[in-house]
Amino acid sequence: MNENFYITTAIDYVNGKAHIGHAFEKILTDVIYRHFKQRFDKTMFLTGTDEHGIKIQKTAKSLNILPIELCNQNVESFKNSWKLLDINYDKFIRTTSDEHKKIVQKIFEKLLKQGDIYKHSYKGLYCSGCECFLNEKDLENGLCPTHLKKPEIVEEENYFFKLTKYKDAIINHIKNNPSFIIPSFRANEVLNQLENIEDISVSRSINNVNWGIPVLSDSSQIIYVWIDALSNYITALGYDPDKEEQNETFKTFWPATCQVIGKDILKFHSIYWIALLMALNLPLPKHILAHGWITIDETKMSKSLGNVLSPENILNSFKLETPDAFRYYISSCANCGKDGNYSDIDFKEKVNADLANNMGNLLNRSLNILIKYFDGEIKDEFIVENEIIKIAKNTINKVIENFDKFQVAEATFEIMTLLNVANKYINDQAPWSLAKNGNLKEAGIVLYNVLEVMRYVSVLIYPYCPNIASNIAKQLKTNINIKLCDLGKNNLKAGKIITKEEIIPVFLRLDSEFAQNKK
Ligand code: ME8
């Protein structure tokens, strides 16, 4: 297949460290990315950090360090978390990098020159949590509904972006492209917000905010914050507004296939970002995937409640050597666009049931029987495809259909259903009894079919659990780096595939006592 695929995440604020909400987004994106790598040749995954703004400026001041020092420390911590979680991004963009800053300044100048940005005196309510101005009607009991803080009154002469000029075009785009905003139920929310939009402030006075990108033609102003942050998706590809013709990377990957963000910043991505692209005369991303939020034990994470969990906390407390179980759990805990919840008990139950029992035990049992009766060898006469292989082939299509709609949790359901069928098949056929009773060929056929299903499963589960999947493939002596379109064309070959010593459990049940004593 020769299509190009470009996926991005939101870039995280670096005034803290990564928590499992950030981790959820990065894992979700990584799973989607790894799946599409199994289908497309040219793929790119971008993530990064959003480093400017009043919050960083204030936190750095309170710690008596420079903003860039705070950024450098926390960027390292984010990168370490992503490494620990096997987030396989191609590029990590920092908004403090010279390449990004230079292009953002050029974008601003271009918009100023063409009249999309103008200077205007303004007094309004500013929420530093959202890094944007709010209207009275956005507030709940006088507080920002997202950050539960009272916004400050800010009066300044700022530059404004003519958002209202693009209102009708954005409404038409959303209405004409039902899969532009995923999940579709959020499109109505955006259409309602569009009814009341006003032009937006895109700069702040340097007297109030100094940690940002200066406006090139006006040293009294700092570019603030969304033009800086949103542009990362194109500056990372080397976009240059001054060039007639863009570079190869940009031409290959823009427009993005899917931009993954949280529901709290959908307005910025489906309205501000789209207007900005329209003003730059650039094509629009194909899909904006707005995921839900992760709670812990059904409670919103917050510093004041002291319930913020990092991905490291979870891997350490369950003594997990690879992130696979956490990746699997978190990417299947919320249906497309819905909120999800993390709890230790659910986590343990889910991964024990799906990864240890349904998947790991099936492989382990089948390989042990193959050793016991056939010395680990698949004979030519065993290669007779049964109904179950048709089901496996059909599962590939169902997984693809789910991923085409970015239904990452829903796709795991299809893989688990296939495993349930395979478990039932082996239990019903009882190859151990067949072999004991001398029906060796029949026993061999059953084992071949089950192991062949495991080969399919290894490739389908790979985006979620890359280490476990590779381990399964290693034991089957098969190739994990196979395109999905070739999966059904291949099959396990006759010959000795494994020795007793080579059989290792791919996922051990999480120790229940340990998990319970942890609290
Ligand atoms: O919003 N559950 O940065 P951020 C799920 N810099 N997702 C969560 C979450 C939770 N509990 N908490 C946060 C920003 N997120 C801006 C983005 S993009 C050009 C600029 C998600 O660090 C959140 O929805 O506050 C967002 O998509 C991402 O983490 C970064 O959030």
CB within 8 A of 437, min separation 6: which ones? none
Residue 514 has pLDDT above 70, yes or no: no
Does some domain include residue 222? Answer: no
Place of tokens 């799906």: 354
pLDDT digits (tens, 9 = 90+) for 33-60: 999 999 999 999 999 999 999 999 999 9
Give me the amino acid identity at 351.
V
Contact 260, 292 (CB under 8 A): no
Residue 367 belongs to domain spanning: 343-516
pLDDT digits (tens, 9 = 90+) for 435-451: 999 999 999 999 999 99
Confirm or reject: Cβ of 342 under 6 Å from ligand 1: no
Nearest-angstrom CA–CA distance, 158 and 133:
12
pLDDT for the residue 14? 95
Nearest-angstrom CA–CA distance, 43 and 26:
16
> Which contiguous run of DSSP H or E holds residue 19?
none
- Half-sphere exposure at residue 27, Cβ-oriented, CA atoms within 13 angstroms: 30
Does some domain include residue 200? Answer: no
Does some domain include residue 483? Answer: yes
Structural domains of the chain, count = 1
Does some domain include residue 443? Answer: yes
**DSSP tag of 318:** T
Nearest-angstrom CA–CA distance, 210 and 220:
10
Does some domain include residue 415? Answer: yes
Band (pLDDT 50/70/90 cuts) for residue 306 is confident
Does some domain include residue 257? Answer: no
Nearest-angstrom CA–CA distance, 295 and 301:
6
pLDDT for the residue 212? 97
β-strand pairing of 117-127 with 132-134: antiparallel
Query: Which residue would you say has higher pLDDT here, 512 or 482?
Result: 482
CB within 8 A of 393, min separation 6: which ones? 456, 488
β-strand pairing of 258-262 with 4-8: parallel
Is residue 340 classed as helix, strand or coil in its secondary structure? Answer: strand
Does some domain include residue 121? Answer: no
Confirm or reject: Cβ of 13 under 6 Å from ligand 1: yes
Distance 67 CA to ligand 1 centre (A): 20
User: Which residue, judged by its Cα, is nearest atom 24 of ligand 1?
Assistant: 262
User: Among the listed ranges 145-149, 162-166, 173-177, 354-358, which one has the minimum average pLDDT value?
Assistant: 145-149
pLDDT for the residue 391? 98
Does some domain include residue 124? Answer: no
Nearest-angstrom CA–CA distance, 429 and 387:
13
pLDDT digits (tens, 9 = 90+) for 59-87: 999 999 999 999 999 999 999 999 999 99
Question: Residue 429: which CATH number?
Answer: 1.10.730.10
> Could you tell me the end-to-end alpha-carbon distance of the chain, in angstroms, rounded to an integer?
49
Confirm or reject: Cβ of 228 under 6 Å from ligand 1: no
Catalytic positions, written as ranges: 19, 22, 127, 130, 144, 147, 300, 303
